[in-house]
Amino acid sequence: MSRCLIFSILIIAIASPFSLEEKTVQGNPSLTMLVDNSTSFELFEQDIVSGLKVSLEKEIPTTLRYIARGEESPIGDSLLNNMGGNDNLLLISDGNNNKGTDLGDVMMLASSLNTTISSLNINPIKTDLVVTIDGPSELIFGTEALLYVDVKQTGPISQGYDIQVVIDDEIVIDEKATGTKTFEIEQMLQTGYHKIKASITANDYFKQNNVYYKTLHVLPKPKVLFISQKDAKITKIMDTVYDVTKKSYMPKDLKAYSSIILYNINEGWLKANTEILSDYVADGNGLVVIGGDNSFDYGNYENSMFETILPVRVGLAGKEEESGMNIIVIIDVSGTTCSAFGTGSANTKIDVEKAVATQIVGGLRAGDKIGVISFDFNSHLISPLSVIEEKPDLNYIISTINCGGYSAGTFVSAGLIRAEDMLRSAKGSKNIILISDGITQYPQNAVSRAKSMTSQGIKTYAVGVGFDTNRQFMQELALKGQGIYFEPTEAQRLNIIFSREYEEEETDTMGLLILDSNHFITKNLGLSAKVTGFNQVVPKTSARMLITTQNTNPVVSVWRFGLGRVAALTTDPETWAGQLLNKDNSKLITRTVNWAIGDPDRNKEFDVKLKDSRIEDIAQINVISETEPVLEGFSFSKITKNLYRASFVPKTTEFHDFFDASMAVNYKREYEDLGINPELIDLVSITNGRIFNKDNTTAIVEFIRENSRRKKIDEISYKWILVLTALSIFLIEVCIRRIMENRKSV
């Protein structure tokens, strides 16, 4: 028995049992000051650094290092080079990072290394004015050019300035103004390249940013083919924007057309032309199919070859998932969600997240299934996937979720992985709704995860929360996950997708709702039209449903087919949706056609593509040509078939002409992003840092000392205790056996 006990104890010892003990240690209360040495920081007081260092080093060891230099501000890279882990950094900078590693990513890494980054509350003492021009780089002839000239003032109030805006040597604005201001310009321009120059005359610090250049290329009207079996009023709108050819039959040669528009055509006519249309779109051209009483469900599209080209199939919207709906709500509880939702807001991000989650719960049907998880560095199960009517206290459970999660960072992927596991065996539609500010480590891992889940029929929707939301990441995540990205104010649109409260409602007139406002067609689109009828269709899995009726019936759906684009407008603008033909709502039709067209110059034998650049950045000249282009001083490389490219580094701010095209070159970004970065407060909060007043050295010292008391986790091993116990038992056994042997011998 003793030998069995000894062997058992030794086996347990080999497993190395241990426990964790958390201790608070004093650490090293030292500080590294990182001072911005870039040109843009010249607007701020320069002598605060030396005085602050003298005051601080009387209390704690203080090191002074300069970061950034000249006309570049790689703040993120500089922080990376100075982070050692378990240390304190004081960033004295405007926080405008214009080169290198993203500042948000650096803060996330600092948090995982237990590096605390704080900053100072400072304001510019010198005045500067910067002018920029915002607007499209390309327009189709007949479309009004809308330009915004922005003047931003940094620092103390100035005495005012003179502003002049010139388009092709014609002065369109010449006036006096004061302070930050936006000037709006609306003009109809002829085809070709137009040169726009905005300049201000003022007594300010930097002169480099007082002139801004921009080019605008107005393209000739694209050629489109409009096929209909009858005269259509809709062509009057199209004639103003496009070079429209009207036919009732399919021409033999389609090369001249950038897009084909089919209006209310039945499958009988399409049957003989489906192969031609399929090849035409797959080669990179556009197709717009407009509904009516002779198309889609009324035109026998169901199960036809032509239906395979479309982003929709004939069916009843909302009725395709008879086996039920499954939704996993993922709530971000990382440290950044403890910060304010927006400037001046009394709510935190987590408050808004919980409100959105509660709104989703309230819009579901009794038979739908819902699960809730939260995530920071890891994922945490809040409520398993089950029928919602079995969860009467779910809203209360959501209300108890707290922010300020694990300090090692944030991984959206962790939440997606658990959600995928919960949905793997579910029957019916599978949906994930991510509610987050999008500030995460390894964002591409999350995007890849969302994309891979689509093969299992899982769609990923995203709701951004907070003024500093990483919208680019959240939009890409939703796009790859075949879902939609929503702003917090748009979250009620989720109920349009997942709720069925309008499903049985029938009215003679229905309003149109923009479901996805992040698409080219719907972005900033004002839509007030109502419809009296529509075609019964259902978007395909990889299509994007952009606009619906109030009872969730698709009206505009789009997708890519081969190299081309296909849009389905499943109502009739003449009989069911006449309001789409008025001035304001007609933009929906022209934008849909514009999206389908894509690049109207793609079929040209020779074309030059340029993008405006900045001084000393690498600029590219892209030329579409069957033969290698020749331009003095440049060497072109062949990129793909008929595409050649040459690069150069502009040395002056002005307009540069290449062949028949123009490029604007502007001042460096260092002179555009001036003043304190408005996101700096939230960025430093990721590392549990603070913003200090420059004169309050006492608060800085106390914070550093307190923050240096690091929590240390020690591993307490029980291996040696077990080995000693086994050895003791063995020695006791030996002693007992020796005593017994001695007694027998006596």
Give the integer Cα–Cα distance in Å for 210 and 200.
Answer: 5
**What SS3 state is found at 656?**
strand
The tens digit of pLDDT for each residue in 562-588 reads 999 999 999 999 999 999 998 889 999
Same domain assignment for residues 306 and 348: no
224, part of any domain: no
- Does 516 have pLDDT greater than 70? yes
Q: Model confidence over 627-644: pLDDT tens digits?
A: 999 999 999 999 988 899
Specify whether 660 is located in the same domain as 550. no
Identify the weakest region by mean pLDDT among 274-278, 371-375, 407-411, 614-618.
407-411
Could you say which of 441, 473, 498 is where a domain stops? 498
CATH number at residue 156: 2.60.40.10
Please give the Cα distance from 295 to 283 (Å, whole number).
25
Measured distance CA(734)–CA(372) in Å, rounded = 60
If pLDDT is split at 50, 70 and 90, which confidence band does 504 have?
A: very low
User: Which residues are bridge partners to 717 per DSSP?
Assistant: 18
pLDDT band, very low/low/confident/very high, at 405 (cuts 50, 70, 90): low
Q: Which among 279, 275, 277 is positioned nearest to 288, based on CA atoms? A: 277
Half-sphere exposure of 569 (CA within 13 A, CB side): 27
Q: Note the pLDDT tens digit of each residue in 337-366.
A: 888 787 667 788 899 999 989 988 887 877
| Whether 341 and 441 share a structural domain | yes
Residue 27's pLDDT is 62
The pLDDT assigned to 362 comes to: 84
User: Residue 506: its pLDDT value, please?
Assistant: 52
Angstrom distance (rounded) from CA 93 to CA 381: 40
Is 578 part of a structural domain of the chain?
A: yes
Distance CA 329, CA 461 (A): 10
Tell me how far CA of residue 8 lies from CA of 446, 720, 726, in angstroms.
45, 15, 9
* In the predicted structure, residue 503 carries a pLDDT above the cut 50: no
* 471-476 average pLDDT score: 91
Domain stop point among 597, 617, 648:
597
SS3 call for 635: coil
Q: Write out the two tokens for 337.
A: 């969600």
Residue with tokens 């040509």: 625
Among all chains, which residue has been given the structure tokens 């502007």?
666
On whether both 348 and 435 belong to a single domain, the answer is yes
Domain range for residue 547?
241-316+505-597
- Strands 243-247 and 223-228, by their bridges, are parallel
State the DSSP string of 124-191.
Answer: -SS-EEEEEEES-SEEETTSPEEEEEEEEEESS----EEEEEEETTEEEEEEEE-SSEEEEEEE---S
Whether the pLDDT of residue 407 is over 70: the answer is no
Indicate whether 225 belongs to any domain. Answer: no
What's the confidence (pLDDT) of residue 323? 56
pLDDT single digits (tens) 4-54: 888 888 888 887 787 766 666 566 788 999 999 999 999 998 888 888 988
The answer on 49 and 88 residing in a single domain is yes
Instruction: Give the separation between CA 433 and CA 717, rounded to whole angstroms.
Output: 43
Same domain, 30 and 150: no
Alpha-carbon span 695 to 121, nearest angstrom? 10
Taking the C-alpha atoms of residue 386 and residue 380, their distance in angstroms, rounded to an integer, is 16
Written as one letter, the residue type at 296 is F
In a domain, 235, yes or no: no
- As given in the structure block, the two tokens for residue 611 are 């993008």
Separation CA 327–CA 459 (nearest Å): 10
Q: Which residues are CB-neighbours of 415 under 8 A, at least 6 positions away?
A: 330, 332, 373, 374, 375, 379, 434
Residues above pLDDT 70, as percent of the chain: 95
Please compute the mean of the pLDDT values over residues 732-742 and round it to a whole number.
84
For residue 226, what pLDDT is reported? 96
Q: Which two tokens stand for residue 480?
A: 């790859």
The amino acid that residue 662 corresponds to is: S
| Share above pLDDT 90 across residues of the chain, in percent, rounded to a whole number | 53
pLDDT at residue 321, rounded to an integer: 46
Other Cβ atoms less than 10 A from the Cβ of 625: the count is 18
* Residue 338 lies inside a defined structural domain of this protein: yes
Q: Total structural domains in the chain?
A: 6
Least confident of 107-111, 261-265, 590-594: 107-111
| Poorest-pLDDT segment among 255-259, 501-505, 582-586, 600-604 | 501-505
The answer on pLDDT for 704 being more than 80 is yes
- Note whether 117 and 138 are same-domain residues: no
Position 95 in a domain: yes
In a domain, 226, yes or no: no
pLDDT-derived band at 710 (thresholds 50, 70, 90) equals low
Residue owning tokens 């500067």: 128
Q: What is the mean pLDDT of the chain?
A: 88
Task: Based on the fold, state whether residues 374 and 480 are members of the same structural domain.
Answer: yes
337 and 486 in a common domain:
yes
Q: Are residues 394 and 491 in the same domain?
A: yes
Among 465, 498, 531, the domain boundary falls at: 498
What confidence category does residue 694 fall into, taking pLDDT thresholds of 50, 70 and 90? confident
| Domain containing residue 89: CATH number | 3.40.50.410
H, E, C per residue of 725-740: HHHHHHHHHHHHHHHH
pLDDT (0 to 100) of residue 571: 95
- The string of pLDDT tens digits covering residues 215-250 is 999 988 999 999 998 888 898 888 888 999 999 999
Task: Tell me what pLDDT residue 705 has.
Answer: 87
Report which of 330, 328, 331 is spatially closest to residue 369, judged by C-alpha positions: 328
**What's the whole-number mean pLDDT along residues 426-455?**
90
Q: Strands 379-387 and 369-375: what pairing?
A: antiparallel
344 and 429 share one domain: yes
Assess if residue 234 is contained within a domain: no
> By C-alpha distance, which of 370, 408, 401 is closest to 387?
370
Q: Are residues 77 and 43 in the same domain?
A: yes
From edge to edge, which strands make up the β-sheet containing 62-70? 62-70, 31-38, 88-92, 116-121, 691-693
**Rounded distance between C-alpha atoms, residue 573 and residue 588, angstroms:** 11
Q: Return the SS3 of 378.
A: coil
